[in-house]
Structure 1
């Protein structure tokens, strides 16, 4: 039984990887929902460490699709997925949690019930008084996750604005750019002076949105915020 389960997981990964690279969101979702939902969770999380950036990101979207379907069937199953992601960010897990905050943001963005229960935990990952993530890459992930939830429900993450705003002074252009995007999506007018100072910044970074990794710059995001402000 155990061998069959492992083999099944490998088969699922072999089937999904080319689809994540070349397929559309619709084709990926159709394939995912053809499997028993609980069995695809582990293979998808495994893609969070894939060598291809696009596969890593699209796996985040894919887990959102699966968790949303699980939540519609049985909310507790979606909670299990969220708790699993949270555990990977816990020091006691022995892991690092690559992709976990991004996935938490994606799942919360596509399912309001999940967002209602877990948005405060997502916000806590950027708070020094909460569950602050020390690793730079995980900080990027938490910022992206907050930006993603802010896209669908900005009120859920508005309380994180002061903590996110700190990253506007970061030397990391990715964190600067994500902090600017977050401010634009949540209507954080307090970030406007920072945006004025960054509007000419040429520093590039890439942002994953709508199935694609999109190149942009810190200056572009600052201009976007100023136009909205």
Structure 2
């Protein structure tokens, strides 16, 4: 899991992806062990842990994407990390990423408050948060108001995006075009 901390490397994104998948797979035969891993990851998002698992939301999202039923309560933990009201919320972009990854294949596990967060952060001033909200909206096939889309198409900030086992810099307007948002 510590290999997932540096979000600027492909290795880190792969580590988060596979850690989540492995925990989800382990839960099929050893639920208590997998649940313990999920608890440890979530605990590492707190100050009292003495460390911060920077990719906690992404890892938890992959756990649920792999095996949603035993972890359906964890989506609410991801929502909580995402909506925490802090100007420097380090989990917000990752939480939106996780919601999108889960919802892409298991839409029925995405609660309304998670969808509300996607809409809330579509025009966030932080490019990474905005980009992950756009991608999540596309993955969940959400309808986005044409006026919001027009404003987003004017944003040129570039963000590092992990998708289909690649990392690349894309501008917000490129992400809008690629997300195939419905208006």
Asked whether the two chains share a fold, i.e. TM above 0.5, the reply is yes
List runs of 5+ in structure 1 lacking aligned partners.
1-44
List runs of 5+ in structure 2 lacking aligned partners.
none
Equivalent residue for 1:89?
A: 45
After superposition, the C-alpha distances for 1:37-71 in whole angstroms (9 at most, x for unaligned) are xxxxxxxx121235961121110012023212311
> TM-score, normalized by length of structure 1?
0.70
> TM-score, normalized by length of structure 2?
0.85
- SS of the residue corresponding to residue 162 of structure 2 reads strand
Equivalent residue for 2:182?
A: 228
Q: Please give the root-mean-square deviation of Cα atoms over the aligned residues, in Å.
A: 2.4
Equivalent residue for 1:179?
A: 133
| 2:149 is aligned with 1:195 | yes
| 2:25 is aligned with 1:69 | yes
Cα deviation, residue 179, structure 1: 0.8
Q: Partners of 1:190 and 1:213 in 2: how far apart?
A: 26
Identify if the C-alpha distance between structure 1 residues 46 and 121 changes in structure 2 by more than 3 Å, giving closer, same or farther: same
After superposition, the C-alpha distances for 1:111-147 in whole angstroms (9 at most, x for unaligned) are 122442322221222235xxx5664432222122112
Structure number with larger C-alpha Rg = 1
After superposition, the C-alpha distances for 1:123-174 in whole angstroms (9 at most, x for unaligned) are 222235xxx5664432222122112112222232252122232222322211
Cα deviation, residue 180, structure 1: 0.9
Cα deviation, residue 95, structure 1: 2.3
Structure with higher RCO (Cα < 8 A, 6+ apart): 2
Instruction: For 1:152-163, list aligned pairs within 5 A.
Output: 152-159=105-112, 160-163=114-117
